[in-house]
Structure 1
Amino acid sequence: MRIAIVGATGMLGHHTALATSRAGHEVIVVYRNPRSLESIRDVQCEARQADLNDRGALRNAFTGIDAVINCAGYYPTIPRPWRDEVQIAKAQMQNFYDACADLPLRKIVYLGAAIALPHDSNGRPGNEELRYREQPNKKSPYLQVKWALDEQALAMAQQGLPITIGIPTMTFGEFDPGNTTGRLIIELANRSLPGYVNGRRNVIYAGDAGRGLVRVCEAGRASERYLLAGENMTMEELMGKVAVAVGAPMPKAIPLNVARLVSAWQTFRFKLGGPEPQVSDSAIAVMSSGQFINGEKARQQLGFYPEVSIDKAIARALDWFRGKGLVKTRAAA
C-alpha cells in the first residue's frame, strides 16, 4: 500500500514511518515545517507538505494514497482553558477527516489515547469496549481533549469513513523531543525531577507501538479500537526502572492533591508572565489517571506482540537524549 504518515517527525510517527517501510509499504511523509525533514533522513519516503489547519493542502497531500496513519496527536502543553483546547483539537481533526472524505482511502488510522477509556468498574485491566456514557467530570485538558477526539473518530466512522483507532499506551524510545513522557527520563537524569504521582500504567517501546499502528492499518477493522499494550506496572515501578537506568536516586512520590496545588500555582504564575509550569496538568493526568491494560484484542486480531522490554526501551531513549545533549548527568560506573 501507499501509506501517508502524518506527524512522522515526532517520536511515534518516526517509528511508524520506519515500520511502514520495513513492512514493504510505500511511505509518504506529510510534514508541516520543511526544517523538520532533517530529523527523518533515515526514512525512505516521499515528502509532501501540508498543515492540519489547511484542508485543501491535506487533500492534495493524500491524493493517490491508499491509507493514512495520523500520528499528529494533539497534546495540551501550555495552560489554556480546557474548552479552548478541545475546540482547537477537534477543529484540526475535522479538517483532516474532511480532507480524507474527499478521497477513496482504504483505511484511516487515528492515534488514540488510553486515557479516553474509563476505568473498568470491577478493577480489571482496561479494554477496547470501555466507553464513557457521557462527558468525563474531570476537567483536565488532556483528558477532555483525548475523550473528545475519541468520540469524534467513532462518530466519523459511523458516518462511513474507514477509520480505525490505534491506541498505544505510554511510550518510551528514540526520536522523542523530550517534552512529554521522555521528560521523566531527562529530568531524573539531570536531577531536576520534582517527583512523580503514583498510579497504574501500561508502558510500551515506541518502536513496538509503531509496528502496532502499521498492523492496525493493515488488518484493523473499521470503527474498532485496538489497544497496543506493553507491560503493566505502577508509576513507582516505572520510576524505579528509570532511576536504575540513569543512575539516580529514586524520586519521591508526590500526593495527588499536593501535585494539583503545585500545578495550579505554577499555572497562575505562568498567566502572570512566568515560566511554563514544570508540573503540568497534562503530566499529572498521564501519571495518575492511567490503568492497567489488556492487549488481547490486538494479539488475537492483529497478531501484535511487543518485542522490546521496557528496560531496553528506557535505555534506548536515554541513549537518544544523551546523543542530543538533553541529558547532562552520566550514570555512575
Structure 2
Amino acid sequence: MNVLVTGGTGLVGGAVARALLARGHSVRLYARASSDAAALEAAGAEVARGELDDRPALRAALAGRDAVVHSAGVVGFGPGLEAALEAVNVRAVEAVLGAALDAGVSRAVLTSSTAVMGGTAAPEVADEASAGNAEALGMPYFVSKLRGERAARALAARGLALVVVRPAYVLGPGDVHGSSASILLAFAQRRIPAYVEGGASFCDVRDVAEGHVAALERGRPGEAYVLAGHNLAMSEMIRRACAIAGVPPPPRVPVPLALGFAAVQELAARAAGRRPRTSRGLVRASALYTFASSAKAERELGYRVRPFEEMVRDTYRWAIATGRLRPDTPELKALNDGP
C-alpha cells in the first residue's frame, strides 16, 4: 500500500513508519517544516511538509495514497494545555481523516490511546467493551483522546474505512522527543524524587508498531483494538526498572503529599514563566490504574507483547548509544558492553 503517516518523527509514528517500510509498503511522512525526518528519508520514506490544520497541504500529501495512519498527538497533564490538546487530539483528527475521506483512501488507522477508557482507583482490567470513565474523571488529556476518537468515528459513519488502535503506556527505543519512554531514563538518572502508587499497562513501541501495521492490513473497519502490555503497579514497574539500571527506587509517598508538592511547583513555574516539572494533573493520573487487555488484538491481529525486561534493557541500550544516558552503574555498563 501507499501510506501517509502523520506523527512519523515521534516515538510511535516513527516506529510505525519503519515497520511499514520493512513490510514493503510505500511510506510518505507528513511532518512540520521544523521536524527532522532525515533518518526515515534515508530508510526510504518520502516527506511531505505541512501543518495538521493545513487543508491544501494535506490534500497534496494524500495524493496517490491508498491509506493513512494518523499517529500525531499531544500528551500532557500540566495546567494550561487544554487548547493544545483540543487542537491536536481533536481538531487535527477531523482535519487529517476528513481530508483522507475526501481523497478516497481505502484504509485509515487512528492512533488513539487506552486513556479513552479512563482509569480506576483500584486495579481493574479494561478492554474494548468496557464502558470507561474518561469524561467522569475530567482529565483534559483523557477527554481530548476520547473526543478525537469520536470525531474519527463520525467520519467513519460517512464512509471512511477506519480502524482504531489504542496503545497503552509505550516504552522502548527511539524516544527522541522525551515522551513516555523517557520515564525509564528519569529513574536511571535519579531525577524522580518520589512516586505515588497506581498502575499502567506497559508495552513496547516495536510491538505497538507491528500492531498498527496489522490493523492497517487486516483490522476490521469500525473496530478498536487495545495494544496493551504488562499490567504492573507502579511500585513493581519501578522496582524492576531500577534493578536493571542498578539504582535504588525512589520512595513512595501519599497522594495528598504529592498533590501539595505539585501545587507548589505549579505556582513557582507560573511565577518564573516556565512549565512545572510536575503537576497536580499528573499526580492524579499517576494514582490511577489503567490496566488493559489486548486479547482482541492478539486474536484478530496477531499482536504480541515482548517481556518487560527486554523493553527496559533495549530502552537503556538505545539511550546509552545515543548519548542520552551515561552508563554510570555496573548494570548499565554491562548493558552497554553486552550483545
Using the size of structure 1 for normalisation, the TM-score is 0.90
Q: How does 1:132-171 map to 2 (within 5 A)?
A: 132=132, 136-171=135-170
**1:207 — aligned with what?**
206
Q: 1:317 aligned to 315, 322, 325, which one?
A: 315
C-alpha root-mean-square deviation of aligned residues, in Å?
2.4
Q: How does 1:16-165 map to 2 (within 5 A)?
A: 16-33=16-33, 35-41=35-41, 43-76=43-76, 79-80=79-80, 82=82, 85-86=85-86, 89-119=89-119, 124-132=124-132, 136-165=135-164
**1:332 — aligned with what?**
330
CA distance in 1, matches of 2:245, 2:310: 12
Residues 112, 166 of structure 2: 8 Å contact kept: yes
Q: CA deviation at 1:223?
A: 1.9
**57-66 vs 186-195, which deviates more?**
186-195
1:267 aligned onto 2:266: yes
Residues 66, 106 of structure 1: 8 Å contact kept: yes
**1:248 — aligned with what?**
247
Specify the code of the residue in structure 2 equivalent to 1:155. Answer: A
Specify the code of the residue in structure 1 equivalent to 2:38. Answer: E
**1:292 — aligned with what?**
291
CA distance in 1, matches of 2:46, 2:258: 45
CA distance in 1, matches of 2:120, 2:214: 26
Distance change >3 Å, CA 23–CA 290, structure 1 → 2: farther
Residues 115, 289 of structure 1: 8 Å contact kept: no
Q: CA deviation at 1:201?
A: 1.4
Q: CA deviation at 1:250?
A: 1.3
Tell me the alpha carbon deviations over residues 156-215 of structure 1, each in whole angstroms, 9 at most, x when there is no partner: 322322221111111111110353322321222212112222212111111010000111
CA distance in 1, matches of 2:15, 2:84: 30
Residue ranges of structure 2 left out of the alignment (5+ in a row):
332-339
Q: CA deviation at 1:261?
A: 2.6
Residues 203, 229 of structure 2: 8 Å contact kept: yes
CA distance in 2, matches of 1:180, 1:323: 18
Residue ranges of structure 1 left out of the alignment (5+ in a row):
none
Using the size of structure 2 for normalisation, the TM-score is 0.89
Specify the code of the residue in structure 2 equivalent to 1:30. Answer: Y
Distance change >3 Å, CA 253–CA 177, structure 1 → 2: farther
Specify the code of the residue in structure 1 equivalent to 2:30. Answer: V
Residues 115, 290 of structure 1: 8 Å contact kept: no
Q: CA deviation at 1:121?
A: 11
Residues 119, 132 of structure 2: 8 Å contact kept: no
Residues 142, 285 of structure 1: 8 Å contact kept: no
**53-62 vs 283-292, which deviates more?**
283-292
Tell me the alpha carbon deviations over residues 35-89 of structure 1, each in whole angstroms, 9 at most, x when there is no partner: 5112435532122112102111111101111111111122236531636633553
Q: CA deviation at 1:255?
A: 2.2
**35-44 vs 111-120, which deviates more?**
35-44
Specify the code of the residue in structure 2 equivalent to 1:97. Answer: L
Distance change >3 Å, CA 139–CA 270, structure 1 → 2: farther
Specify the code of the residue in structure 1 equivalent to 2:163. Answer: T
CA distance in 1, matches of 2:262, 2:86: 20
Q: How does 1:168-247 map to 2 (within 5 A)?
A: 168-177=167-176, 179-247=178-246
Count of matched residue positions in the alignment of Structure 1 and Structure 2: 331
CA distance in 2, matches of 1:108, 1:186: 34
**1:305 — aligned with what?**
304
User: Sequence identity, in percent?
Assistant: 24
**2:337 — aligned with what?**
none
